[in-house]
Amino acid sequence: MTAAQPETAKRPRTALAIAGVDAGYFGVPVVRGLTLDVAPGEIVALLGPNGAGKTTTLRTISGLIPPLGGTIDVLGKPTDSRRPHRLARRGVSHVADDRSLFEGLTVRENLRLAPGLRRRYRLAAYDRAVDIFAALGPLMDRQAGLLSGGEQQMLALARAIVSGPRLLLVDEMSLGLAPVIVEEILPVVRRVAKEENTAVVMVEQHVHLALQLADRAVVMAKGTVVLEGATADLRANPSAIQASYLS
């Protein structure tokens, strides 16, 4: 898979560096004291019960909400006062839990509006989307609102990838999808991370899927990290994850 936008600049050793971050809404913290580093090409899964602060963490990284405290460095630069569109131009793509598609526009038009996609790469984006998900090929002129749930998730993920992101944030990728669709989508995330050296932070409700896909997992509860480790180690000790969900 070839990136739509080749990068010539030297890539930082850490794609994402979060230090002591508090995040929340209307001045009330939902996430407290979060510290996390993600390397290029690494997949990190954020796990935890509902209300743990996982989605808030992704929204804060992507600039949708400002941190209440601490620092966030994305691709070697601080995100202070940056807006989501500026981060998108620097290589941050965010697949939200609601997919955030333009349902009245076609698949082709949604791809053309991919955040961070430069005008001269738009034609290549269509080919790349079909390379990612062949099922999108015959659907290019169909309205996004008429797609099935699985097709919409494919489009949302493809739209996030066609701009050649260096940091990919994915929220609840398997939510509401049939297992056969999930099995088609998961390898794409792994492929992008490993072949294109893209850092990935994903929120996933299905623990077994996350531990299968990710290199490292962070379990959150009540806004703080309660467990962190390599997924191989966590798979070998499922009781530790079960206990962390009850903390």
CATH (domain of 58)? 3.40.50.300
**Residues 6 or more apart whose Cβ sits within 8 Å of residue 190:** 43, 213
- Please check whether residue 234 lies inside any domain of the structure: yes
Quickly count: other Cβ atoms within 10 Å of residue 24's Cβ: 18
- Please check whether residue 146 lies inside any domain of the structure: no
Asked whether residue 17 carries a pLDDT value surpassing 50, the answer given is yes
Higher pLDDT, 42 or 183: 42
pTM, to two decimals: 0.89
Q: Which helix (H) or strand (E) holds 47?
A: strand 43-47
Average pLDDT, the chain: 89
Asked whether residue 183 carries a pLDDT value surpassing 60, the answer given is yes
Asked whether residue 53 carries a pLDDT value surpassing 60, the answer given is yes
The amino acid sitting at 180 is V
- Please check whether residue 141 lies inside any domain of the structure: no
Q: Give the pLDDT band of residue 88 (cuts 50, 70, 90).
A: confident
As for how many domains the chain has, the answer is 1
Asked whether residue 8 carries a pLDDT value surpassing 70, the answer given is no
- Please check whether residue 232 lies inside any domain of the structure: yes
On whether the CB atoms of residues 23 and 31 are closer than 8 A, the answer is: yes
C-alpha to C-alpha distance for 43 and 143, rounded to whole angstroms: 32
